[in-house]
Structure 1
Amino acid sequence: MTTASRDRTVLVDPERHGAYSSIGEALVDSVDGTVVSVAAGTYAETLEIVDRALTIRALEGADVVLDGTGADRPVVLAHGGRVGLHGLTLRAGGVAAVRADHAELTMSACSLRARYGPAVLVQGSGPVTITDTTIDGAEHGVVLEGASGVLENVTVDNVSGDGMIIGLGADPEIRSCTISGCGHRGLYVYQHSRPVVRDCRISRTGRAGIAVAHRAAPELSHNSVLDTRGVGIEVGADCGGSIEACDVENTAEPGILLAQGSTARLRTARGGTGPGSGGSRVDTLLAELDGMVGLRGVKAEVRSLVDEIQVNTWRTQAGLPTGVVSNHLVFAGAPGTGKTTVARTYGKLLGELGVLARGEFTEVSRRDLVGQYVGHTAEKTAEVFERALGGVLFIDEAYTLSRLAGSGGDFGQEAIDMLVKLMEDHRDDIAVIVAGYTREMDDFLAANPGLASRFSRTVEFENYSPDELVHIVERMVAAGEYDLDPRSHPVLAEHFARHTDEVNFGNARAARRLFEGMRTAQSSRLRGSGRIPQPAELRALCVDDVLLAIRR
Structure 2
Amino acid sequence: MARTILVSTQQHGAYPTIRDALDAAPDGTVISISPGEYTESLDLRNRRVTLQSAGGGDVTLNAASPIESAVHMLGGQVELHGLILRSTDRATVEVRAGHLVLDGCELHAGYAPGLNATDGAVADVTGCRFTGGQYGMVFEDADGTVNKCEIRGIADDAIIVRLGAKPTIRNSTIEGCGFRGIYIYQSGKPTIELCEISQTGDAGISVAHQSAPTLSACWVHDTQGVGIMFGRGCGGLVDECRIENTASPGLFLDEGAHPEVRERDPHSDRPKAGASAVNRSTQQDPEQMERLLRELDGMVGLAGVKSEVRSLIDEIQVNEWRRDAGLAVGAVSHHLIFTGAPGTGKTTVARVYGQLLKALGVLPDGRFKEVARRDLVGQYIGHTAEKATTVFEEALGGVLFIDEAYTLSRSSGGGADFGQEAIDTLVKLMEDHRDEVAVIVAGYTNEMLDFLNANAGLASRFAKTLEFENYSPEELVLIVNRIAGNDDYLLGEGLDDALLEWFGTIERDQNFGNAREARRLLESMRKAQSGRLRGLGQRPTRDDLRTLTLDDLLVATAR
TM-score by length of 2: 0.48
TM-score by length of 1: 0.49
